[in-house]
A and B are shown apart, each in its own frame.
Chain A
Amino acid sequence: AQSVTQLDSHVSVSEGTPVLLRCNYSSSYSPSLFWYVQHPNKGLQLLLKYTSAATLVKGINGFEAEFKKSETSFHLTKPSAHMSDAAEYFCVVSDVRTSGTYKYIFGTGTRLKVLA
């Protein structure tokens, strides 16, 4: 069965320092993986997605994530945090082989705080 675990519910970084948001997944098949961001009182916006092409995926706003099958991880990183990055981030797994009961599994979210 599919599952996704975001290892940190809260992360705090100083502006200008690197960001690391951790995500581990479990999937019986070849998963598709996504990161979404949600700013307060807003819907979710796609940051990036992995669908079995390059393992290093670049997204919007300087974010990137690396798919590591051996570690079943899909961690989100950014070299330098900006105040506007403060938001909640969701890791999502989707099993592309599942049909009929196909669905997306969302992690519980990581709230990123950026300190001035």
Chain B
Amino acid sequence: EAGVTQSPTHLIKTRGQQATLRCSPISGHTSVYWYQQALGLGLQFLLWYDEGEERNRGNFPPRFSGRQFPNYSSELNVNALELEDSALYLCASSPTGAGANVLTFGAGSRLTVL
């Protein structure tokens, strides 16, 4: 069974540009979570999608957005990039949005903003 896959592995952008990160969940999982892991700041919750809808959002500005497609894959868009957006972006999936389900993580996409 394929795990959670994320692309690209690495991405280098300059300030003001836009970045798009992609995530494919485990087959059968309908929920996708996005986290930002910046150096020294731990994991910060960004977004939760379930069944194509945004269910919850972390304390991030609106330039962080995303969507979930009918096949449950997801993309995260970051507009007007700032230097502090440099981080490892982790995607996780779970079978459903409710209950104490295990999150299965991808290997992450490392975004570097110059």
Q: List chain A positions with a Cβ less than 8 A from chain B.
A: 32, 34, 36, 41-46, 49, 51, 90, 94, 96, 99-104, 106-109
Number of interface residues of B (CB under 8 A): 23
In whole angstroms, how far apart are the Cα atoms of A34 and B100 in the complex? 9
| B61 touches A (CB below 8 Å) | no
Binary A-proximity of B11-39 (CB < 8 A = 1, otherwise 0):
00000000000000000000001010000
Residue of A32, A46, A104, A109 near B42 (CB, 8 A) is A109
**Which residue of A is nearest B43, CB measured?**
A106
Chain B residues positioned under 8 Å from A41 (CB to CB):
108, 110
A108-B102 contact given A43-B90, A103-B56, CB 8 Å threshold: no
A43-B4 contact given A103-B48, A106-B42, CB 8 Å threshold: yes
**Which residue of A is nearest B105, CB measured?**
A43
CB neighbors of A among B65-109 (8 A): 90, 92, 97-100, 102-108
Q: Are A104 and B90 in contact (CB under 8 A)?
A: no
**Which residue of B is nearest A32, CB measured?**
B100
Q: Are A90 and B56 in contact (CB under 8 A)?
A: no
Q: Quick one: which of A42, A43, A96 has the most chain B CB within 10 A?
A: A43
In whole angstroms, how far apart are the Cα atoms of A41 and B88 in the complex? 9
In whole angstroms, how far apart are the Cα atoms of A41 and B55 in the complex? 28
Min Cβ gap B32→A in Å is: 13
**Which residue of B is nearest A46, CB measured?**
B102
